[in-house]
Homo-oligomer: A and B are copies of this chain.
Amino acid sequence: MPIVQIDFVEGRTVDQKRDIAKKVTQAICESANCPPEAVTIILRDLPATNFARAGVLRIDR
């Protein structure tokens, strides 16, 4: 019963999200040997002001 949460910087299209949902589910089912119905995916779009690496916001890179 994998629960997958993906946070990324906003800007993906609905088609990209559709593709992520399909391919990530396939990847987990193949690797973890579970049926697709068991996989739940949550996507969260973050503004570029809300993501940092090495102490620097994405908007400042």
**Cβ of A42 and Cβ of B51 under 8 Å apart?**
yes
Q: Closest CB-CB distance, A1 to chain B, in whole Å?
A: 6
**Cβ of A55 and Cβ of B14 under 8 Å apart?**
no
**Cβ of B52 and Cβ of A32 under 8 Å apart?**
no
- In A23-49, the 8 Å CB interface with B consists of 23-28, 30-33, 36-37, 39-46, 49
**Cβ of A55 and Cβ of B31 under 8 Å apart?**
no
- Decide: A55 near B43, CB < 8 A? Known: A3-B3, A32-B20: no
- Decide: A53 near B1, CB < 8 A? Known: A24-B24, A28-B6, A31-B20: yes
* Residue positions of A touching B, CB distance < 8 A: 1-9, 12, 14, 16-28, 30-33, 36-37, 39-46, 49-60
